[in-house]
Amino acid sequence: MDTIKKYRSSYFLIEIILIMLGLMFLVPFYFLLVNSVKEFGEILTNSAGWPAAYKWSNYTEAWTKTTFPQAFGNSLIITILSNALLVLMCSMAAYRMVRHATLFNRLLYGAFVAAMVIPFQSLMIPLVKVVSTLGVMDTRTGLVLCYLGFGAPITVFLLHGFVKTVPIDIEEAGRVDGSSTFGIFFRLVLPLMQPIIVTVIILNTLWIWNDYLMPSLILQSPEMRTIPIATYAFFGQFTKQWDLALPGLVLGIAPVVIFFLAMQKYIIEGIAQGSVKG
Residues 170-209, mask of contacts with another protein (x by CB under 8 A): -----------x---x--------------------x--x
User: Does residue number 212 form part of the binding site for another protein (CB under 8 A)?
Assistant: yes
Q: Considering only CA atoms, which of 137, 151, 155 is closest in space to residue 216?
A: 137
User: Does residue number 145 form part of the binding site for another protein (CB under 8 A)?
Assistant: yes
Q: Considering only CA atoms, which of 63, 75, 70, 72 is closest in space to residue 223?
A: 70
Q: Which of 81, 137, 152, 192 binds another protein (CB under 8 A)?
A: 152
Cα-Cα-Cα-Cα torsion 232, 237, 240, 242, nearest 10 degrees, comes to -70
Nearest approach, Cβ of residue 57 and another protein (Å): 19
The stretch among 51-59, 62-70, 142-150, 163-171 that binds another protein (CB under 8 A) is 142-150
Contact 223, 89 (CB under 8 A): no
Of 257-276, binders to another protein (CB under 8 A) are 257, 259-261, 264, 267-268, 271-273, 275-276
Of 89-118, binders to another protein (CB under 8 A) are 89-90, 92-93, 95-97, 100, 105, 108, 111-112, 115, 117-118
**CA neighbours within 13 Å on the CB side: how many for 53?**
6
Nearer to another protein, 77 or 123 (CB): 123
Distances (CA, A) of 58 to 29, 34, 133, 215: 17, 12, 43, 28
